[in-house]
């Protein structure tokens, strides 16, 4: 095959229902005559960083406390130190262990559904699209996800593989969700938010927990055992297995054969005295699943796609060690090292072997009553080896990236208990975009005891992935007569990485308020305006006629599209949480999110365009209403009603659905639950694949039984 140049004008190529409703109605209409609340104790893990701050006792039950009281222990992701969320200068939401235990979720992405500002959509077998405040895709590139401070961000593809997070949900102490930039502390690629999954200290998970969940389409088994060997040494070991039939098509037929995987891990905690704490943890996981998608037919005389069922596999291993030392009443520090290794194959043969080695040192110094200083330095080494196919090619099959970074932040008390200023910055240097500076300034003002106001201005960056710098992707063909093909020939599009390019830049403006309304009711409101520049946009860079030997006429058009860094756009929105107790045994939480954007600009024409950005894959409005009921000391009812707005200009319609969990607690430590998910319709679509052609996948209604036994 050979090509010849043509003008570059070609640019366009780029009966169960009734049962579900009855169960939901039962949960929402429970009457006071049923019973009163009963305490259900749950241990709380130790903080991830030492502090002299007083620790409130663990609440007896989720229903017993207000949102502000629940969040008192829960903020370590905003400031890299323990801090009351009511005192934080960011939009923070915490999923507590009690909420996890009472949820209908079976995966970590499912736990994030309904969190204000968070967008979750399932789009393939085991595949999720998760983002915060826009730009959602399967590989969201501006969201940092961590487990106990260990990054889950895969730099090669600039995103997170959510299906690899398979630790037992019962081992999770809390999930901290920070909406908005976290880059001044956590660095690049956290420009839209940070999700920190914090597992229990091994001393707080004594005994054995068995979770067995089986249903119409999914089966899960996990086993976790923890114990104290001595007063100073404790451990926790776990194993998990997950199997599901996958998603379905519009008629309810399976489109993938199955997803199956498992993981096992060990955590050791050693605290020889009041000044030192050591943690060592490791995990191994693997999985296998099928993903249907369409590949471009390589026969140029039969243009179009053919359906392909790819068998995908992954194996991962990670190790983390951390030493935390309290040097004095005013000074503490920590040293952390981690190693991650991933082998993963997708798309019918595209494989990546990715390795990360990371070393971080952090120091917290309460210099005076006025200044509270955090400081840190770090080094990171990333290496990958690529296996390519005719559809995915790379300029270099192996690459090593190097990072050196440091941060400093000062909490300045201007008026004790009333006014605080936080200023800081992260400085990084890497071998492909050079120096990156990410400062922020944040202010907290308390005009009254029960009211706090905060505001922030931040600069954050998102560095380009190896795909954007080095790959050539040939996934798309537009046939004659299709809306984006004005020619009589098929148009073959190749997306090309651009090695010499800049990082994406965000200037974020945020403000919010938290109000204790009294009577165990609270209100948390946050708003933001984001100004993006140097965004990755797909711009045609050239086109050619395609000829084959011994044929005198062209058989197609080849269009080259570059991953350029010339896009600009603005987004804005807000989130609100209202939570409280309607009665002593009934707690309600209402979350609302709004997202909006200004049309981006096409750099080639200057005209407004939404096709250059995945902004349309974020819903304008989301609403989640959660109700938790305690019926005596043995029964609980937990229901969540969710509404998610349309995506992709209505091609993915809005949907409303509900999840329900009915739990009965036995006196021997066992819990038995009946769980229903997506109850309001037989199936619905939540997302579709943006990066390559794939058939639409629907999430079906599911019912399962869950047995948890602790001994």
pLDDT at 225 over 90: yes
pLDDT band at 609 (very low <50, low <70, confident <90, very high): low
Residue 314 maps to which CATH number?
2.40.170.20
Q: Largest Cα–Cα distance in the chain?
A: 86
Tokens 């890299």 sit at which residue? 80
- Give pLDDT, residue 206: 79
Percent of all residues in the chain with a pLDDT value above 70, rounded to a whole number: 86
- Give pLDDT, residue 624: 97
- Give pLDDT, residue 53: 35
pLDDT band at 30 (very low <50, low <70, confident <90, very high): very low
Mean pLDDT of 126-150: 89
- Give pLDDT, residue 333: 93
pLDDT band at 472 (very low <50, low <70, confident <90, very high): very high
The domain tally of the chain equals 1
CB–CB of 177/115 below 8 Å?
A: yes
pLDDT band at 255 (very low <50, low <70, confident <90, very high): confident
pLDDT band at 307 (very low <50, low <70, confident <90, very high): confident
> Counting beta carbons within 10 angstroms of the beta carbon of residue 606, is it exposed (0 to 12), middle (13 to 18) or buried (19 or more)?
exposed
Distances (CA, A) of 296 to 391, 524, 553, 694: 8, 49, 21, 11
pLDDT band at 83 (very low <50, low <70, confident <90, very high): low
Cα-Cα-Cα-Cα dihedral of 326, 329, 331, 333, to 10°? 20
Give the burial string for 208-241 (b: 16+ CB within 10 Å, else e): ebbbebebebbbbbbbbbbeeeeeebbbbbbbbe
Nearest Cα to Cα of residue 91 among 183, 184, 173, 194: 194
pLDDT at 108 over 70: yes
pLDDT at 38 over 50: no
For residue 466, what are the domain limits? 2-710
Tens of pLDDT along 565-583?
Answer: 888 889 999 999 999 999 9
Nearest Cα to Cα of residue 325 among 366, 276, 278: 276
pLDDT band at 81 (very low <50, low <70, confident <90, very high): low
pLDDT band at 434 (very low <50, low <70, confident <90, very high): very high
- Give pLDDT, residue 23: 33
Mean pLDDT of 104-133: 91
- Give pLDDT, residue 31: 31
Q: How far apart are CA 110 and CA 116, in angstroms?
A: 14
- Give pLDDT, residue 175: 93
- Give pLDDT, residue 11: 37
- Give pLDDT, residue 204: 87
Q: How far apart are the first and last CA of the chain?
A: 68
């Amino acid at each position: 095959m050979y090509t010849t140049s043509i003008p570059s004008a070609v640019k366009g190529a780029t009966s169960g229902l009734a049962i579900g409703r009855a169960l939901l109605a039962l949960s929402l209409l429970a009457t006071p005559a049923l019973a009163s609340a009963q305490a259900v104790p749950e241990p709380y893990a130790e903080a991830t960083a030492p502090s002299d701050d007083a620790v409130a006792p663990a609440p007896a039950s989720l229903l017993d406390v207000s949102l502000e009281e629940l969040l008192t222990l829960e903020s370590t992701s905003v400031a890299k130190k323990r801090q009351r969320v009511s005192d934080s200068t960011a939009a923070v939401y915490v999923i507590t262990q009690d909420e996890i235990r009472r949820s209908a979720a079976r995966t970590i992405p499912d736990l994030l559904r309904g969190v204000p500002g968070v967008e979750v959509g399932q789009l393939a077998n085991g595949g999720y699209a998760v983002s915060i405040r826009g730009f959602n895709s399967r590989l969201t590139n501006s969201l940092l996800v961590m487990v106990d401070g260990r990054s889950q961000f895969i730099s090669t593809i600039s995103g997170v593989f959510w299906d690899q997070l398979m630790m037992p949900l019962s081992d999770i102490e809390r999930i901290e969700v920070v909406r908005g930039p976290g880059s001044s502390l956590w660095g690049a690629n956290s420009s839209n938010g940070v999700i920190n999954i914090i597992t229990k200290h091994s001393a707080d998970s004594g005994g054995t927990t068995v979770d067995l969940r089986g249903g119409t389409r999914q089966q899960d088994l996990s086993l976790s055992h923890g114990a104290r060997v001595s007063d100073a040494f404790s451990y926790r070991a776990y194993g998990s297995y997950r199997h599901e039939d996958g998603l379905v098509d519009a008629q309810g037929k399976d489109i993938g054969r199955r997803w199956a995987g498992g993981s096992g891990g060990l955590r050791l905690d050693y605290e020889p005295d009041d000044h030192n704490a050591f943690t060592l943890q490791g995990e191994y996981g693997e999985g296998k699943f099928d993903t249907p998608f369409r590949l471009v037919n390589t026969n140029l005389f039969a243009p179009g796609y053919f359906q392909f069922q790819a068998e995908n596999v992954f194996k991962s291993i990670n190790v983390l060690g951390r030493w935390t030392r309290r040097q004095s009443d005013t000074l503490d520090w920590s040293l952390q090292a981690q190693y991650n290794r991933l082998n993963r194959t997708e798309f019918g043969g595209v494989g990546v072997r990715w390795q990360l080695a990371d070393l971080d040192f952090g120091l917290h110094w309460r210099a005076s009553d006025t200044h509270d200083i955090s400081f840190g330095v770090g080094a990171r080494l990333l290496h990958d080896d690529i296996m390519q196919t005719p559809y995915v090619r790379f300029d270099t099959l192996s690459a090593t990236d190097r990072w050196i970074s440091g941060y400093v932040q000062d909490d300045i008390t201007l008026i004790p208990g009333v006014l605080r200023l936080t200023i800081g910055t992260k400085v990084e240097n890497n071998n492909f975009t050079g120096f990156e500076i990410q400062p922020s300034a944040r202010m907290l003002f308390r005009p009254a005891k029960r009211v706090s106001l905060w505001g922030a201005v931040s600069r954050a960056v998102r560095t380009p992935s190896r795909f954007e710098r080095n790959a050539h992707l040939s996934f798309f063909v537009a046939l004659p007569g299709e809306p984006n093909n004005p020619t009589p020939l098929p148009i073959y599009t190749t997306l090309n990485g651009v090695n010499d390019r800049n990082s994406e830049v965000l200037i974020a403006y945020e403000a919010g308020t938290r109000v204790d309304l009294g009577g165990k009711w609270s209100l948390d409101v946050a708003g933001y305006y984001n100004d993006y520049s140097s965004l990755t946009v797909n711009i045609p860079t050239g086109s050619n006629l395609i000829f084959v030997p011994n044929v005198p006429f062209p058989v197609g058009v080849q269009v080259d599209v570059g991953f350029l860094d010339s896009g600009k756009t603005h987004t804005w929105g807000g989130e609100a949480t209202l939570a409280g107790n309607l009665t002593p045994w009934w707690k309600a939480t209402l979350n609302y999110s709004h997202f909006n954007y200004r049309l981006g600009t096409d750099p080639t024409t200057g005209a407004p365009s939404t096709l250059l950005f995945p902004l349309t894959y974020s819903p304008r409005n989301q609403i989640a209403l959660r109700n938790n009921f305690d019926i005596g000391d043995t029964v609980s009812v937990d229901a969540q009603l969710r509404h998610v707005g349309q995506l992709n200009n209505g091609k993915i319609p809005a949907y409303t659905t509900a999840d329900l969990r009915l739990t009965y607690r036995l006196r021997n430590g066992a819990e038995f639950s009946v769980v229903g998910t997506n109850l309001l319709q037989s199936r619905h679509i939540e997302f579709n694949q943006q990066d390559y052609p794939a058939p639409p996948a629907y999430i079906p209604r599911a019912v399962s039984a869950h047995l948890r036994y602790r001994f």
